[in-house]
Each structure stands twice: as structure tokens, then as C-alpha cells.
């Protein structure tokens, strides 16, 4: 398999409803799709959702990194099988900084998809064998309006979700109203966890969590700023509920720091921010060795390409406690693949056993939502 060239697409897809949290609000998703093209004309597709408040990347920085640094060394390279490509990608990862990880993810997934299709293997074979046939995803409520939140909670109960995550904000009073409205629509058997997206200080987090005890929260995600590892450690030590690291966890170095400083109980692994499948699996293994649990997270607005990559992590990594993402048509007005990854009733979804990443992006649809396309050939 010889790498003949790449296409980089910037795409924008409208969402069915607005999603907001402490760091962002959006009604349209801006993603980057990379298409890797082999000498024989085969194509593989990868995706990333660059978010400046996570890895510091934007659609523009991703395009620049791909064009200037990530794709040029890959052009003209030949790979004899999937393992050969995985070895190359693992060594290329060593030169990738945190603020290039989403860009690398799009290129990595495109090459793994291409190699998987070429050698009729699942791209996910590079992270290990399957451990389960199906997985159950959580619902996520991301609105600061308690009435709307109550409606979402009711709809999610009827859909059959067992676990729900709620985006909360800085004010205890507002959060209390929001959680009360949600809890009123749910039986106690449905678990609730919250994500503060860096909204609090450690003191404030501990105060809020003490007062939120009646909601029996299963976890709090990223209560303090991404670089406040001391604050994360303080909240973890308070043992009020499990602490999930999200914005604080992008790279292997972040993972090590969180472990060394005992700064969380759970890692939130998202394939786009973590630099692709291979690095996500490496971060997962670090968590397991340290006795931590993991959550499979997602980027708001990901298409079925990133959702499929996430599905591989969820079905091939044993110690995943919660899964998010794969909302497909439930969140996006349109998708760009022929095979949709959208979850079914109850949040259930099946393992993907098809070659490559396992979804077939439709170039016509990609072209429909593209704002720019750049070709890179040797």
C-alpha cells in the first residue's frame, strides 16, 4: 500500500439543537476530514473535531499542521500490512505535541481505514482484540434551562438510557435548579453524573459537591481548570464522588501527571483530543495499570467516522465504565457516511466488524458540507 496523496476537507454541519457548557456553545459543528488515497485508488477517511479549549487547536491550525508537518513525511510511504503502518504511526506520535493531537488523529484514522480496507482487516486490530459485542452509551444534557433540561431528561428516560451526564455551570443555585428539574423526571435507577467543564475552583467544587449530595452523583468531570492538577487532586482526595479528568487529559504526559498527583479516579478518553486510536489505547492502558477507570468520551458534533473510532475503543477496551457519543442523527441534521453509528433504544450499539474503520463516508455528502478542500500529492 503506497500513500499517493491526501485530501483535507473542512466541513460544517448544522445540529438539531444548540449545545452549551461552561467553555462553549454551538449549533453548527466544524470538523476536519482527511481522505488518504493509495496508489491503487483505494481511499481511507479520518476525522477530528478541533476545539481550542481542549487541545488548543482550531480548524485552521489543524489544516496548517497537516499541510506543513504531519502529512508530508507520509507521502510516498509504502506499508506491507496493518502492523507495519501501526509501528510507523507509533513512532510518528513521538514527535506530536498536545496542540497537534487532533490533527494527527484525522491523519491516523484515515491511514488506518485505508490499510484496513486494503488488507481486509478491522483498523482497530492495532489496539487489540474485541472484548464485547455491544455497548451501552449514556445520554448527555447540555442546557442551562431547567425546563428544557427536564424535557430532555424525560425523553432520555423514555429512550431507555441508564446513565445521564449533565453539563453544569459556575452557580450553585442554577446547578441545583437544573439537577432538581432533571432528577424529578428520572427514577433513582438512572445514574447522574455532572461535567463542570473547568467552571469551578477546588474550594467551590467541594462546597458544591457537599450540597449536591442529595442527587447521589456518580461522578464529577473536570471541576477545575485543565492545568489545575493540584485542585483536581484536592477534590479527588475529598472522596465526595469519583473525579473524571477530561480537559486535563489529552496526552500521555498528562495521563502520567494525573496518576503521579492522584488527581482523578477516571480518565475521559476522546479519540480526537487524544491523538487517534493508538494513543487513546496507550492512555487507556496507563489508566488500567494505575488502577483507574475510563470513560469513552466524544466531541460534540462528531460524525460517524469519529463515532466508529470511539466504538472500537468501547468494544476492545475492557475497563470502560461509561460511553458517550455516537449520537449521529439524534444530534446532527446530516451525517457523511453510508453506515450510521447512531445508537439504538436504551443507548445500545453493536461492535463494528467491517474492514477499515467500518463506516463508508460518502464523498458527495462530504462535498455538500465542505467549506474548503485542499489536495496534497507528491
- Binding residues (CB under 5 A) for Mg ion: these are 195, 221, 246
Q: Are the C-beta atoms of 181 and 168 separated by less than 8 Å?
A: no
Nearer to Mg ion, 144 or 221 (CB): 221
User: Which grid coordinates are listed for 305?
Assistant: 467516522
Nearest distance, CB of residue 246 and Mg ion, angstroms: 4
Nearest distance, CB of residue 195 and Mg ion, angstroms: 4
Give the list of residues 6+ apart from residue 239 with CB closer than 8 angstroms, or none. Answer: none
Nearer to Mg ion, 122 or 138 (CB): 138
CA nearest to 215, candidates 163, 175, 179, 171: 179
Nearer to Mg ion, 125 or 221 (CB): 221
Nearer to Mg ion, 122 or 307 (CB): 307
The string of DSSP codes covering 11-53 is EEEEEEEEEEETTEEEEEEEEEEEEEEETTS-EEEEEE---TT
Nearer to Mg ion, 221 or 265 (CB): 221
Nearest distance, CB of residue 36 and Mg ion, angstroms: 29
Nearest distance, CB of residue 241 and Mg ion, angstroms: 15
* DSSP strands (E only) in 154-200: 163-167, 191-195
Nearest distance, CB of residue 224 and Mg ion, angstroms: 13
CA distance 41 to 73: 20
Give the list of residues 6+ apart from residue 326 with CB closer than 8 angstroms, or none. Answer: 137, 298, 304, 307, 310, 311, 341, 342, 343, 349
Nearer to Mg ion, 242 or 246 (CB): 246
Nearest distance, CB of residue 268 and Mg ion, angstroms: 6
Nearest distance, CB of residue 199 and Mg ion, angstroms: 11
Nearer to Mg ion, 113 or 246 (CB): 246
Q: Are the C-beta atoms of 69 and 376 separated by less than 8 Å?
A: no
Q: CA distances (Å), 135 to each of 267, 276, 318, 321, in order?
A: 18, 20, 11, 10
Nearest distance, CB of residue 83 and Mg ion, angstroms: 33
User: Which grid coordinates are listed for 261?
Assistant: 498527583
CA nearest to 332, candidates 9, 31, 21: 31
Residue with the shortest CB distance to Mg ion: 246
User: Which grid coordinates are listed for 193?
Assistant: 453524573
Give the list of residues 6+ apart from residue 345 with CB closer than 8 angstroms, or none. Answer: 159, 160
Q: CA distances (Å), 236 to each of 105, 190, 245, 281, in order?
A: 30, 23, 10, 24
User: Which grid coordinates are listed for 351?
Assistant: 461492535
Nearer to Mg ion, 107 or 196 (CB): 196
Amino acid at each position: 500500500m503506497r500513500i499517493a496523496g491526501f485530501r483535507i476537507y473542512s466541513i460544517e454541519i448544522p445540529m438539531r439543537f444548540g449545545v452549551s457548557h461552561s467553555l462553549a456553545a454551538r449549533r453548527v459543528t466544524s470538523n476536519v476530514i482527511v481522505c488518504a488515497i493509495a496508489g491503487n485508488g483505494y481511499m481511507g477517511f479520518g476525522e477530528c473535531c478541533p476545539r481550542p479549549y481542549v487541545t488548543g487547536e482550531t480548524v485552521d491550525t489543524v489544516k496548517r499542521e497537516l499541510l506543513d508537518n504531519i502529512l508530508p513525511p507520509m507521502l510516498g510511504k509504502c506499508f506491507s500490512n496493518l502492523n507495519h503502518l501501526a509501528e510507523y504511526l507509533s513512532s510518528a506520535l513521538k514527535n506530536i505535541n498536545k496542540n497537534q493531537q487532533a490533527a494527527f488523529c484525522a491523519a491516523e484514522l484515515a491511514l488506518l481505514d485505508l490499510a484496513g480496507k486494503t488488507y481486509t482487516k478491522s483498523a482497530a486490530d492495532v489496539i487489540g482484540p474485541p472484548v464485547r459485542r455491544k455497548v451501552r452509551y449514556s445520554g448527555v444534557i447540555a442546557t442551562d434551562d431547567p425546563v428544557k433540561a427536564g424535557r430532555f431528561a424525560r425523553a432520555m428516560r423514555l429512550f431507555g438510557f441508564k446513565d445521564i451526564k449533565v453539563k453544569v455551570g459556575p452557580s450553585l443555585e442554577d446547578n441545583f435548579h437544573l439537577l432538581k428539574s432533571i432528577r424529578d423526571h428520572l427514577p433513582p435507577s438512572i445514574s447522574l453524573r455532572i461535567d463542570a467543564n473547568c467552571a469551578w475552583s477546588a474550594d467551590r467544587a467541594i462546597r458544591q459537591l457537599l450540597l449536591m449530595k442529595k442527587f447521589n452523583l456518580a461522578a464529577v468531570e473536570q471541576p477545575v481548570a485543565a492545568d489545575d492538577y493540584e485542585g483536581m487532586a484536592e477534590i479527588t482526595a475529598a472522596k465526595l464522588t469519583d473525579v473524571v479528568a477530561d480537559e486535563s487529559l489529552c496526552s500521555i504526559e498528562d495521563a502520567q501527571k494525573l496518576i503521579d498527583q492522584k488527581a482523578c479516579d477516571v480518565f475521559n478518553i476522546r479519540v480526537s483530543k487524544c491523538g487517534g486510536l493508538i494513543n487513546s489505547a496507550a492512555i487507556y492502558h496507563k489508566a488500567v495499570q494505575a488502577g483507574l477507570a475510563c470513560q469513552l468520551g466524544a466531541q460534540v458534533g462528531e460524525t460517524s467516522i469519529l463515532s466508529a473510532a470511539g466504538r472500537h475503543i468501547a468494544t476492545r477496551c475492557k475497563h470502560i465504565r461509561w460511553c458517550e457519543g455516537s449520537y449521529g442523527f439524534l444530534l446532527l441534521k446530516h451525517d457523511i457516511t453510508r453506515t450510521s453509528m447512531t445508537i439504538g433504544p436504551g443507548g445500545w450499539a453493536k461492535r463494528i466488524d467491517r474492514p477499515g474503520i467500518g463506516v463508508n463516508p460518502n464523498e458527495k455528502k462530504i462535498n455538500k458540507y465542505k467549506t474548503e478542500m485542499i489536495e496534497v500529492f507528491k
